[in-house]
Chains A and B, each alone.
Chain A
């Protein structure tokens, strides 16, 4: 791998330009380079791995004293991360999502969430991105689990730039965080977007018929694709990127519900308990009468092999199929005589 400053362009001061010069990096590699660069100025930063660092890790090369590959022991890694954090270190613990969020879930709950440790659990292989490796390497329940833990921050960036911004923001945030990454994609969103802030959803596109609410590389890119296809058919969409699932930007969801006729959540996670669940909770809690169509993993494990794209398609997670579902479910426009839906009395 190249160094975070090898081309002369600095990752932190010119992230978009740096990314353009590294078109082949996956999002998880972008994370590694970002952390490596951040560790230059932050001596408290330590990176733990559980035998899934791969070869040529830039952090290991540049900061060998603060890179500890513990071996295949995810549960112990999370306890160790919490012990390390209590001596004043900022600990990033990295592994695959099924092992970090699920296998070591109790360590995350006890050591990170309950104890409010300054540990950042960073997991790639989110969703189905492990693809043909099979369900042992998929993580379709991680967001539901970690979102339910009090005090946990949960972040799912939508592209390389957002991964850089989020990683940097996590260093400033004193507390436990789950950062969820995919495995394969090199997504670069071209949309102009507001400044990144943890906990604040960002509107990527305004529209009035359909409210598309998404997170992550797969979710947000599908949502934008769907919006473009719907526009070609005369249906206007608002697209909201919820990169931080917790704390949840409820205001952005309720705004979107008010401005549109139907909500659609798009995510590479089970339709149970993730963004789809969170949006339903918010809308129902506030009595907003909006139908919510949840696009996501359809509450089943996929035991047969397939490419990432093929697996997503099996769950309807691709633009063409989703457009059909939306058009079939979209309610008629409100009659002018009817009062607009009010949000909270």
Chain B
């Protein structure tokens, strides 16, 4: 059954992310784990792409605007065969490797280098405009963080997308409620995010960001306007050991990795 398969893929992606947290420099763990279902539904159900031909002209594009969650994207790209999982784990953040701690476009499947926040929506608007000018039907998906919505450039770009009715552009906000210094709501509230996106002219829905079926339906529903999906998620989601305390950044030792993997029902490699 397709959904079971996506669940299995999500579990494998989480396993890789945990292994990346156990590399010498660690990774942005909480926000990588929170968006796993978003990436799995996009890559496993919605998007058109060819892993052996990452620049295929008819591909749909995925832009990780919250580029600090590179470990999550790389792990997903490995699951969908753009890159090799073992090479990723061996070389993540290592000298001379393309797998930098913020997303690098040298990695197959990555469209743009991101990590400085507030660029993904604008880049996505440009892609969507470019496809329209060429009369192509490629879809463009941008994953933002909820803390990242504090960047004004996002709101500039959201306005442009609405003005030009870029219906093939979708923004997914990984609303995991946390940012670098703590809870998003305590630092710069994104309250009424759904209403604000709607007021900006976007066709907006709020879903459980770990519900594969809800995400898939939201992504496949017809829309005349650009589409925003506010996905309520949890930092560190899917790893029982991290429940309720998913860290923003983590460097695991061997014992922590063993415990995290075993809480996923896995054994240490």
A interface list, Cβ under 8 A from B: 46, 65-66, 68, 70-71, 73, 75-89, 106-107, 110-111, 114-115
Contact = CB atoms under 8 A, between A and B. Distances in A.
A259 B209 CA distance: 70
Contacts, number: 97
Contacts of B119: 79, 107, 110-111
B131 interface: yes
A73 B156 contact: yes
Interface in B141-160: 152-153, 156-157, 159-160
A89 B133 contact: yes
A80 B157 contact: yes
B123 interface: yes
Nearest to A81: B126
A107 B119 CA distance: 7
16 contacts: A70-B160, A76-B121, A76-B125, A79-B123, A79-B126, A80-B122, A80-B129, A82-B112, A83-B127, A84-B129, A86-B123, A86-B126, A87-B130, A111-B123, A114-B113, A115-B113
A129 to B, nearest CB: 26
B125 A115 contact: no
Q: Do most interface residues of chain A lie in helix, strand or loop, or is the interface mixed?
A: helix
Contacts of B97: none
A149 to B, nearest CB: 14
Q: Do most interface residues of chain B lie in helix, strand or loop, or is the interface mixed?
A: helix
Interface of B: 105, 111-114, 116, 118-119, 121-131, 133-134, 136, 152-153, 156-157, 159-160, 163-164
Contacts of A76: 121-122, 125, 153, 156-157, 159-160
B130 A86 contact: yes
Nearest to B112: A115
Contacts of B164: 68
A236 to B, nearest CB: 50
B2 to A, nearest CB: 31
A79 B140 CA distance: 15
Nearest to A75: B153
Contacts of A87: 126-127, 130-131, 133-134, 136
Contacts of B111: 86
Q: Which of B116, B133, B164 has the most CB of A within 10 A?
A: B133
Nearest to B152: A75
Contacts of A114: 113
A66 B160 contact: no
A68 B129 CA distance: 10
A171 B139 CA distance: 28
Contacts of B118: 75
A201 B118 CA distance: 38
Q: Which of A66, A79, A89, A107 has the most CB of B within 10 A?
A: A79
A106 B116 contact: yes
Contacts of B125: 76, 79-80, 83
A66 B130 contact: no
A46 B157 CA distance: 18
A88 B157 contact: no
Contacts of B112: 82-83, 86, 111, 115
Contacts of A79: 119, 121-123, 125-126, 153, 157
Q: Which of A87, A88, A89 has the most CB of B within 10 A?
A: A87
Contact of A84 (B121, B130, B136, B163): B130
A68 B111 CA distance: 23
A295 to B, nearest CB: 36
B160 A80 contact: yes
B134 A107 contact: no
B159 A83 contact: no
Contacts of A46: 133
Given A71-B159, A84-B127, A89-B130, 8 more contacts: A75-B153, A76-B160, A80-B157, A82-B126, A86-B127, A87-B134, A107-B119, A115-B112
Contacts of B114: 110
